[in-house]
Amino acid sequence: MKNEQARFNMIEQQIRPWNVLDKGVLELLTVVKREKFLPEQQKSLAFMDTELPLADGSLSLTPKIEAHIVQDVAIKKHESALVVGAGTGYLAALLAFHARHITCVENSPAVFSAAQQTLHREGVANVSIVQGDASKGWPDGAPYDVIVMSGSLQILPEELKQQLKPGGRLFVILGCAPVMTAFLITKLSESAFDTKPLFDTSVSAVANADAVSTFTF
């Protein structure tokens, strides 16, 4: 009961006020238990509005950003997605609940191993997690209906947009700390895209992502 009260408080005090209002997403947060994707020493922190350290020392996304992503990309049962950055495995599990298949690519061996074990233990069968560098996408399995970059980028690689199907959606956080903006980019045709700003935030960068040069000449 203690966890359920904390989960209710997380949804009502953190997530819903952050304009995550989709009833299906809010219900999903009660079905896929966030604490089950965290190591024992972090389970008591599962419902806090804070980034938690992953196995390699990088930081996870907060619950409200994870929920916002699920709402924004609005994945459907017949669709497949690419998730770049495994985190705890929780975001992939949330998306997998309403998807046909999720390909999750993680660069860090420690984070990959932990997320793989957790997803297997929780019985999330329609997520394939692989180790590798997907900072510019993952051609194996492309094109995708949805691509989620779970870390930030300074530069948006053109390859990501090209790995979307027509009608596909890309969630990406662009910019430099301390101010970054989350965008939903929808592929309207082979050459036309709609770019919608969603919210401002600041999160860890995608591993191996290209950076904007700070040198001046």
Q: Is residue 137 part of a domain?
A: yes
- Give me the helix-helix angle, 90-97 and 109-121, nearest 10°: 40
Question: What residue type is assigned to position 195 of the chain?
Answer: T
Residue 23, in any domain of the structure: no
Instruction: Indicate whether 27 belongs to any domain.
Output: no
pLDDT for the residue 211: 76
Tell me, yes or no, whether 25 lies in a domain: no
CATH number, residue 166: 3.40.50.150
Structure confidence at residue 76 (pLDDT): 98
Helices 90-97, 63-73: axis angle to 10 degrees equals 30
Structural domains in the chain (count): 1
Residue span of the structural domain in which 137 resides: 51-59+68-201
Q: 3-state SS string over the chain? A: CHHHHHHHHHHHHHHHHHCCCCHHHHHHHHHCCHHHHCCHHHHHHCCCCCCCECCCCCECCCHHHHHHHHHHHCCCCCCEEEEECCCCCHHHHHHHHCCCEEEEEECCHHHHHHHHHHHHHCCCCCEEEEECCCECECCCCCCEEEEEEEEEECCCCHHHHHCEEEEEEEEEEEEECCEEEEEEEEECCCCCEEEEEEEEECCCECCCCCCCCCCCC
- Is the residue at 135 inside a domain? yes
Q: Report whether 167 contacts 146 (CB < 8 A).
A: no
pLDDT recorded at residue 200 = 97
How far lies 159's CA from each of 42, 55, 197, in Å?
36, 29, 20
Residue 176 is assigned to a structural domain of this protein: yes
Residue 97 lies in a domain: yes
pLDDT (0 to 100) of residue 210: 83
pLDDT in tens, the chain (217 residues): 789 999 999 999 999 999 999 999 999 999 999 999 999 999 999 999 999 999 999 999 999 999 999 999 999 999 999 999 999 999 999 999 999 999 999 999 999 999 999 999 999 999 999 999 999 999 999 999 999 999 999 999 999 999 999 999 999 999 999 999 999 999 999 999 999 999 999 999 998 888 765 444 4
Q: Is the pTM of this model over 0.75?
A: yes
For residue 212, the model assigns a pLDDT of 64
- How many Å separate Cα 45 from the centre of its chain? 19
185 close to 161: Cβ distance less than 8 angstroms? yes
In a domain, 13, yes or no: no
pLDDT for the residue numbered 216: 45
